[in-house]
Amino acid sequence: MRKLLGILGLLALLVYPCFVLGQTGASANCEQRATPPPMATFGGPTTAAPDHTEVGIAVGVFGEGFDAPPCVVDMLGASNWLARWRRGLSSRTDLGFDLLIASNQTILAGTTKAAMPYQATKGLRLEGGVGFSDGGTGRSVNADLAAVIGTYKHPENTWNYYASLRLGGSHGCNSLLCIGSPGPPGSDPPGALIPLGAIGATARVSDTTRFVMEGGLGEHISRQQPSSGMYLHISFGVLFNVGKDRKREVRRAPLSLLMESGKPQIATAPAL
């Protein structure tokens, strides 16, 4: 637990400068922004079981709107695709990646992050991630922290529900991973801090498949904007749980099959 708290503390230090330190080389505009990490929770408070893999795909819409012109964006005016891969490391921890492609009439952006969730209890999961993005007109490094609660104490139920609080931050730059010299003044995408609350539900399709629907509402805060803006997202998708490879085991047949003519014989039967 101490190691986890240390990791979350380190991630918090990464998120904090994204907003508090600001970006002197950034200017407010509607076409450029430092893309945040994938913000969808996309599932309840459980983690992938040891040696199991969780794979998911989702589609959704999102929107951002600011109170003051000229940066007023039509809500739900953009679409996104989310792909997820996570691998169970222990009974409480997994490690994986999220990749999100977002687009509207003027922008096509891709953002990815590596995330490490920790299941504190059956109904509570903590999560931290770091990543980067390329928005075509600008790039960013980003990070997020989240807490997820839900009704996963009974996974056999058809429906389960969850809620999450997430804090995402992004820092814009001109070069990939923000490595290298800064660009000309005003050329860096404005950084942002996004607190987001989300609620969702999962429907059990089979032992290995769940349908997921989620909606979230938050604030888009940027030091380069005169006021905060609304951030909204809605998504639908499917999660698949792929079990570990099962080796065919050899087990002994019942004793009645081992006895023939009063003499014991060695026999085996393949596992079903």
Confidence of residue 224 (pLDDT cuts 50, 70, 90): low
**How many distinct structural domains can be found in the chain?**
1
Q: State the CB neighbour count (10 A cutoff) for residue 244.
A: 11
Containing structural domain, residue 197: 2-270
Using CA atoms, how far apart are residues 23 and 122, in angstroms rounded to an integer? Answer: 40
Q: State the CB neighbour count (10 A cutoff) for residue 26.
A: 25
The pLDDT of residue 255 is: 47
Confidence of residue 267 (pLDDT cuts 50, 70, 90): very low
Residue 140's contacts (CB-CB under 8 Å, 6 or more residues apart) are 34, 35, 36, 111, 132, 133, 170, 171, 172, 173, 178, 189, 191
More confident residue, 30 or 217: 217
Q: Do the beta carbons of residue 153 and residue 35 sit within 8 Å?
A: no
Q: Do the beta carbons of residue 29 and residue 71 sit within 8 Å?
A: yes
- Taking residues 234-262, report their average pLDDT: 61
The pLDDT of residue 272 is: 47
Instruction: Convert the pLDDT of each residue in 76-92 to its tens digit.
Output: 557 889 999 999 999 99
Q: What is the distance of C-alpha 271 from the center of its chain? A: 38
Q: Among residues 194, 241, 206, 207, which one has the least CA distance to residue 84?
A: 241
| CA 178 vs CA 56, 86, 262: distances in Å | 29, 26, 79
- Taking residues 219-243, report their average pLDDT: 83
Q: Model's pTM, two decimal places?
A: 0.77
Residue 91's contacts (CB-CB under 8 Å, 6 or more residues apart) are 49, 50, 119
Burial of 272 (0-12, 13-18, 19+ CB in 10 A): exposed
CATH number at residue 46: 2.40.160.20
The pLDDT of residue 94 is: 94
More confident residue, 191 or 227: 191
Q: Which parts of the chain fold into alpha helices (H)?
A: 2-20, 255-258
Instruction: Convert the pLDDT of each residue in 44-54 to its tens digit.
Output: 998 998 989 99
